[in-house]
Amino acid sequence: MALSQEKLLLSALLILCLTIEVSSHNRRFTTPSVTRLTDSFPRVPVDRGYSKAFGAPNIQILNNGSMATLALDKTTGSGLVSNGRFYYGFFSAAIKLPAGLSPGVVVAFYLSNADKFPHNHDEIDIELLGHDKRNDWVIQTNVYANGSVSTGREEKFYLWFDPTQQYHYYSILWNNYHTVFFVDNIPVREFLHSSKYPSVYPSKPMSVYATIWDGSEWATHGGKYGINYKYAPFVVSFAEMELSGCLSNPTAPASSCSKATTSSSDPVNGPEFTKLSQQQIAAMDWARRKLMFYSYCNDKPRFKVLPPECQY
């Protein structure tokens, strides 16, 4: 009898250990050291850099304009949009995600020109996808160019921290050479610009958006779990916003700030931004080996022919 009880106890402890391992899979890593790009650019007060895009009643501007909370409830989500459109730049936000169960919730920080080019738009996306009881928030990155929404270029990663407990940095570097996605200054993805496939690279000026909305149809396990509004409102906080980009001026010649040429007004045109450092490459390799669980370039069932950039 004692032996059976001991076996049961050992089995219970094993199950507990496995449960802890799974539920804390994104909090047990020692992160690599990297250059803090977020310290290289000025912060812009929310009330100066952004306007309310939708869901105005669910938006609060706080701390003398330095931060904002956006809410999602049964009535509406909410979002901010930058006051300018940008060619190139470094765009960042410190974000604290909603706590508790959040399946179907999408928090996004992204660039887009869908309002101006509805059938031929570009996007560079960071989307933070809500979780159910068994899974943590995940980050999805994506790139669309020239309306190519039928070819999603998604990559998904687990986070190595609890994003609901404190603020973490989510950043996008976009210039003539590459687009890089960062989490807490660690590059998790680099999308290289190449003349071999120019049509897949964003080419038109974009606005910057910070939003929260209902993605029940797809966000959590492909739409298996939707939002339960008894837990609403879902509130996300944005702070330490950075908008260091080459502003598009409709009244100026295109060559003064264009995708085809470099410009002294471009804040990410220096040599330190043309390619990742060895330190950043090592950090990105760590993130992709440890945390990436989906890449469109590995999704052969989805694509009969993989997108061209996957070959390089």
Which residues are designated catalytic? 123, 127
Q: Decide: 200 and 308 in contact? Cβ < 8 Å.
A: yes
CA 240, CA 244: separation in Å to the nearest integer? Answer: 12
Helix (H, G, I), strand (E, B) or coil at 194: coil
Cα–Cα distance list, 133 to 13, 107, 152 (Å): 21, 18, 27
C-beta of residue 215 within 8 angstroms of C-beta of residue 104: yes
**DSSP string covering 285-298:** HHHHHHTEEEEGGG
The single-letter code of the amino acid at 298 is N
Side-chain half-sphere exposure of 81, counting CA atoms within 13 A: 13
DSSP percent split of the chain into helix, strand, coil, nearest 5: 20, 35, 45
Q: How far is CA 68 from CA 57, 170, 233, 239, 245, in A?
A: 12, 16, 15, 7, 21
